[in-house]
Amino acid sequence: MREEKDLLGTLMVPDEAYYGIQTQRAVLNFSVSGKTAGEIPHFLWSIAAIKQAAAEANRQIGALDEQKASAIVTALKEVMAGDFDAHFPIDIFQGGGGTSTNMNMNEVVANRASELITGKRGYDEIHPNTHVNMGQSTNDVIPAAMKMTSRMNINQLLIQLEELEAVLSEKSFLFSDKVKLGRTCLQDAVPMTFGQQFGAYRTQVSKLRAKMAEVSEEALFLPLGATAIGTGLSTHEGYIPAVYQWLEIITGDKYTPESDFFDGLQHGDFYIEFSAQLKKIAAFLSKMATDFRIQGSGPRAGFNEIIVPAVQPGSSIMPGKINPVIPELINQIAYQVIGNDVTVTMAVEGGELDLNVWEPVLLKVLFESCSLLSKGIPLFIDKCLKGIAINEKVSARYAEESTALATIISTLFGYQVGSRIAKTAFQQQTSVKQVVLAENLLTPEQADYLLDPMNMTDPQKSTAVIKRYQKEMNIL
């Protein structure tokens, strides 16, 4: 162990650690969740990229000498490569709006940069605050890194959504001639096709993907340069344009300063929007998963109209039982994401006065939600969607036997006649077609084409068969 000092006194720090006393205090103060900042995909990389851009900018404007800047940049590149992951031990939950994580980075980089120059660690040559943190504050570095992290995680999620849309499009085409009974309020409705069902899913994913792509673009606006409260205090002349130029070189993305730094530090509307889109994706996925669970229920005493792929036995006591475990997984992911959205809302609402200090919990729940969806969607695709099959015999029978087919009779003969036919079919446990033929409302040929469930799934076909009937009966 080695002894280090700060304004509160002295503390022992592990001798092998590249971090220092402020990190050690945070480890002792905040170890509650067991999850560190390093477990947030791309977060530490984003902080290091910001500090590299700052070092390059300060070197460019003459605020940081060449030797120090070069050592800091080299150390940051090593951090970005993952060489020092073990030296970021702080729990993601922490007070101070992320100050501990920012100082953890400053200490690691200062020790490593000093080591590069002098051969030993310590802050005599490179200081965490004076040099590594030059022109920065936790208050602008952490939210800027959060938005950069958001963009990288969103872009990964967009790839998953694109694949999901493609699979749903394929299923929509494959199932375009597979008729099913539509249902509203969990009761029989008029026929439709499974292609139409899966086509609606595809359309929803397309809309969700477009909205999430907009959020990714919003993440390009950063509060970097605001420093403590938005005034930019402690930055040198020329720093802000230079730091954004270097950030583009380092990341390949054209980040831009927020139009109002005070707004950028105080208000978390971006996080609410990001979380809202995650919630919308989760809610849709859960709805689709629930549809599959209902339509695949049975197989002897349920709907049994689609076949959900079996991926594991479903009971420890009932042989042969198979559960829809992948759809159930998606439901649970959705419940967590929707719960996380409430946390985001509260954390943004609680951003009192001139700074929102709740970045740690925002980080934790936002990227938990993003990660759950990014990992859950491929599982849903590979272990459920790709193998979904239609029980055509059962589905066709449901469509043919539904009393909802009386809707076409109502169109031709009036609502009262259609209602009577439906009621009779229900009471006699027979089909609408059989009742219509028994009452001589239609000829067998007319009943065949008017009451064909597939014809009812297509507006053009349904209007054509009505027109044909009217012509045959000489009805204007």
Residue 371 bears catalytic tag: no
> Of residues 297, 315, 395, 431, which has the active-site annotation?
315
Kindly report the pTM of this predicted structure: 0.94
Question: pLDDT below 50 — which residues of the chain?
Answer: none
Residue 225 CA to residue 354 CA, distance in Å, equals 15
Residue 140 CA to residue 149 CA, distance in Å, equals 14
Residue 352 CA to residue 454 CA, distance in Å, equals 59
Q: What is the reported pLDDT for 474?
A: 86
Q: What is the reported pLDDT for 393?
A: 96
- 3-class DSSP state of 283: helix
Q: What is the reported pLDDT for 235?
A: 96
- 3-class DSSP state of 391: coil
Q: What is the pLDDT of residues 23-46, one digit of tens each?
A: 999 999 999 999 999 999 999 999
Q: What is the reported pLDDT for 398?
A: 95
Q: What is the pLDDT of residues 346-360, one digit of tens each?
A: 999 999 999 999 999
Residue 63 CA to residue 68 CA, distance in Å, equals 11
Beta strands in 322-425 (DSSP E): 389-390
- 3-class DSSP state of 37: helix
DSSP class of residue 89 equals: -
Closest CA to 22 of 120, 125, 133: 133
